[in-house]
Structure 1
Amino acid sequence: MDLEQRVADLERRLAALETAGRTAPRPGEGDFWALDGLRERLADLGAADGGVLFTGAVRLPTGEQYAWQNGTLTGDLLEDDWRPAADAFAALGHPVRLRLLREILGGRRTAAELAGLDEVGTTGQIYHHLRQLTGTGWLHTTGRGRYEVPPGRVVPLLVALSAARP
């Protein structure tokens, strides 16, 4: 398929999505609309081994909104060195760190606000956890002792939590 045909096909599919509006299939209704779209895209790329796609449109309790997606070919994932991911996963492996992330997403952004929470430990322990999360990219400082989950990490964090649900 040449470039003009691919662009025309993309425009046609975009127009269909825009027209569908609120009548688009919803997750959980038994329709694999996201999976079908991924398979179509993989076929266009000639990716016989498949791929992984995760995406999300999120509105936090603070009113902030994030839209994000990431797709990776299966072969690329299987060939990658997975060791660098260990620290990022390890940082999420502590209940207090997960609580801090949840509270920060919910609007508590300063160490002082976080220290006022029950069952998160001493101020020193909180700073230890915040350093772990910052060092692995799950948090960054915005100045004056304020923390936030970087925009490019909000949806991946929620995807990781979703994947870990029983």
Structure 2
Amino acid sequence: MDLEARVAELERRLDALEADPPPRPEAPEGDFWALEGWKERLAALGAETGGVLFTGAVTLPTGERYAWQQAAPTTDLLDEGTDRADGTRSADSFAALGHPVRLRLLREILAGRRTAAELTALDGVGTSGQVYHHLRQLVAAGWLHTTGRGRHEVPGARVVPLLVLLSAATP
């Protein structure tokens, strides 16, 4: 399949997803197997205040597969010692995601548009200078890294956490 046909097919798939997004799956009532296992582990650790667990296994439109799980007791999350004393590291990470164009760029990169040229050609993302500014912000916060020759990718360890944040922010 030639490049133009591949791009046309990717654009068709993206248009279909944006026009009619799939419904968000809901866990069947009483079916909290991951939560129950996590609660058992917390009890074994003596973590009386509970904790948070997120996990995911995804296949991106590019065919790349990622599986990830992260967990933390509540005390660790609320302890200022896990972040700089003033919370700057967390705030910087969230701030990088706080612009609609940056979120769009991340989604486009996950979907396979990886070069700065492909990203600046998108409608509604601004000038090339603005796109490069957004990319620098995302790289500085660790949501992206540069793989060379103007190519960007979301680091593997950030794919599922990013999707968790997008899911949590969707009403």
TM-score where L is the length of structure 2: 0.80
Q: Tell me the SS of whatever aligns to 2:136.
A: helix
Map residues 53-64 of structure 1 onto 2, 5 A cutoff. Answer: 53-64=53-64
Which residue of the other structure, out of 90, 95, 112, is the alignment partner of 1:85? 90
- The match for 2:38 is 38
- The match for 1:111 is 116
Map residues 1-166 of structure 1 onto 2, 5 A cutoff. Answer: 28-30=27-29, 31-80=31-80, 81=83, 82-166=87-171
- The match for 2:7 is none
**What code does the residue aligned with 1:100 have?**
L
Tell me the CA shift for residue 27 of structure 1.
Answer: 5.7
> Quick one: distance in 1 between partners of 2:141 and 2:42?
31
Tell me the CA shift for residue 83 of structure 1.
Answer: 2.8
- The match for 2:19 is none
With 73-82 and 32-41 compared, the bigger mean Cα shift is at 73-82
> Quick one: distance in 2 between partners of 1:29 and 1:77?
28
> Quick one: distance in 2 between partners of 1:163 and 1:99?
16
**What code does the residue aligned with 2:128 have?**
T
> Quick one: distance in 1 between partners of 2:39 and 2:26?
17
- How big is the alpha-carbon RMSD for the aligned residues of Structure 1 and Structure 2? 1.2
**What code does the residue aligned with 2:54 have?**
F
**What code does the residue aligned with 1:39 have?**
K
CA deviation vs aligned residue, 1:70-111 (integer Å, no higher than 9, x gap): 111111111124331001101101000000000000000000
Structure 2 residue ranges without an equivalent (≥5): 1-24
> Quick one: distance in 1 between partners of 2:26 and 2:160?
16
TM-score where L is the length of structure 1: 0.82
> Quick one: distance in 2 between partners of 1:52 and 1:72?
5
> Quick one: distance in 2 between partners of 1:84 and 1:135?
11
Q: Tell me the SS of whatever aligns to 2:88.
A: coil
> Quick one: distance in 2 between partners of 1:76 and 1:103?
33
**What code does the residue aligned with 1:29 have?**
P
- The match for 2:12 is none
> Quick one: distance in 2 between partners of 1:165 and 1:119?
21
Tell me the CA shift for residue 29 of structure 1.
Answer: 1.1
**What code does the residue aligned with 2:140 have?**
G
Q: Tell me the SS of whatever aligns to 2:53.
A: strand
Structure 1 residue ranges without an equivalent (≥5): 1-25
Q: What is the identity percentage for the equivalent residue pairs of Structure 1 and Structure 2?
A: 72
Larger radius of gyration: 1
